Amino acid sequence: MSLAIGIDLGTTNSVAALATPRGVVVTQGPNGERVHPSVVSFPAEGGVLVGHEARARRAVDPQHTIYSAKRLIGQNMKAPLVGLALASLPYAVEEGPNQQPIIMARGRRMTVPEVSALVLGHLRKLTEAQHGDEVDRAVITVPANFSDAQRRATREAGVIAGLDVLRLVNEPTAAALAYGYAQRLDEHVAVFDFGGGTFDVSILKIRGDIFEVIATGGDFFLGGDDIDRALAELLAAELTTRAGADPRGHRGAMTRLMMAAEQIKCHLSSNEVAEGTIGGLIVGDDSTPYSLPFRITRQQFENLVSGYIDRTAEVCQQVLTSSGLEPAQISDVLCVGGSTRIPAVRARVADIFQREPAIDIDPDEVVAHGAAVQAAILTGNTAATENRALLLDVTPATLAVGTAGGYVERLLEKNAPIPIERTKMFTTARDYQTRVVIDVCRGESRRFADNEPLGTITLDNLPSAPRGETRIEVTFRVDADGILHVRARDERTGAAQEIHLNVIGAPSGESATPAPDAPAPA
């Protein structure tokens, strides 16, 4: 019998789970590990290591050990945030076809989906070993604010790993499903998802078996990695003072400091002080290793990372405003992701929503738990779950078409329920225009240049006619995975073009403007 599992493919760690008649069972490694690092390493002697074995090589072989790949998936090398990510990664990333990132390791050239597929394949094999059956299907979770290209690339990773991807589910939605709210009526639940690389907050309305997201927001580059980096920078400054050499130019030393920072962060989640020594730090040309003693209090740590916590609070306030709800109308708040273990984070969540967050399910496992339940629902596995929840998600950003003059015409507003389809009519902006270029973007600005360009459709050989007579029908369709499909059709001739948008290869957004042949609203 083949199995369908749920997978939380995370920036720092990943978790897989299977819904069974005995409940949801989390996939374990050979030593009982339930959370598996999203790390892939390529040793000099050959082969590939994934998970805990790979993570152990981050400090000793940083150039050939790949981590935080989720921050690059579905991205464009010209995007400013990608440049920010690359500045802190010790392994090589080059620009490939269509401006997609290509990861270099031990002579290999790999796309980001190929790297992520190794993590997914590792989880698949562990699950098969644990249950004794083939795993061939999966529900994979993604951040709520993932773009169309990031969702497509995640689905591609699943296919490369040999999985039939049943559905992509937003992480906050999966978390709500894990808590079994389908037995309740007319409740509003907030999900605060603060993981290793991304931050999301969603508010859902739950009516029996219907889970409807009514507002969502997030920050794609805000997570535990950023907190680790801030702490590593503090340690690097201290080492510079003590050793007289700056470790920030040495990949191995900075990787050791990043890994130490993560351990210090975790320790301070349950202790008031962290102290010890970080050894093996080579920062000079003579290969002399330095040791860095440290003593950091929880208060010092919280002062250091307060700016990141403030950013999560700003997003929460925006989402509350979008939902039209007051904190008192939220029945429960769920904490998801390892970064929610930080006491200052939980305190801020309680302050924003005026209630203590629920922590019944391990925040590292709750998303995979919900994905496993959804996999059972989609495959009709009634033996594993009686849950029949219907998940209704929303668009994380406004989707629009660039128009003449550098402006946009919106087709789908932010927080529109999906799946959804909308059509608007456009026309030519100039007399006798025989070509129309339709630039698609996402973002909240009325100016095209301030939004993120997604892709382009071109209609050629249109009938030559005075301005305004040619009518172009543009349809946006967002499917259940949150992927955007765009169709443009000349009403007179019936000529049409359709694209399934892929951001890779799209302009960087630094100087994006609609094409000269952009249409005008009809």
Where on the phi/psi map is residue 295: left (φ > 0), alpha (ψ -120 to 50), or beta? beta
Q: Which residues pair with 275 in a beta bridge?
A: 295
Active site residue 265: no
In angstroms, the CA 25 to CA 33 distance is 13
Active site residue 70: yes
Total residue count of the chain as it appears in this document: 522
**Taking the CB of residue 510, how many other CB atoms lie within 10 A of it?**
9
Phi, psi (rounded to 5 degrees) for 17: -150, 155
Query: Within 13 Å of residue 193, how many CA atoms lie on the same side as its CB?
Result: 34
Determine the angle formed by the axes of helices 112-131 and 148-160, rounding to 10 degrees.
50
Q: Which residues pair with 193 in a beta bridge?
A: 200, 336
Annotated catalytic residue: which of 61, 70, 409, 414?
A: 70
Q: Which amino acid is residue 510, in one-letter code?
A: E
Strands 135-142 and 164-170, by their bridges, are parallel
CA 415 vs CA 203, 214, 317: distances in Å: 11, 7, 15
Annotated catalytic residue: which of 114, 148, 193, 226?
A: 193
Active site residue 362: no
DSSP output for 149-165: HHHHHHHHHHHHTT-EE
In angstroms, the CA 121 to CA 356 distance is 37
Assign 3-state DSSP to the chain and report helix, strand, coil percentages, each to 5.
30, 35, 35
Q: Cα 348 to chain center, whole Å?
A: 23
Annotated catalytic residue: which of 114, 148, 156, 171?
A: 171
Burial tier of 422 (Cβ tally within 10 Å: 0-12, 13-18, 19+): middle
What residues contact residue 6 under an 8 Å CB cut-off, 6+ apart? 16, 17, 18, 19, 138, 139, 140, 141, 174, 368, 369, 370, 371, 372, 373, 374, 375
Active site residue 332: no
3-state secondary structure of 4: strand
Q: What are the catalytic residues?
A: 8, 70, 171, 193
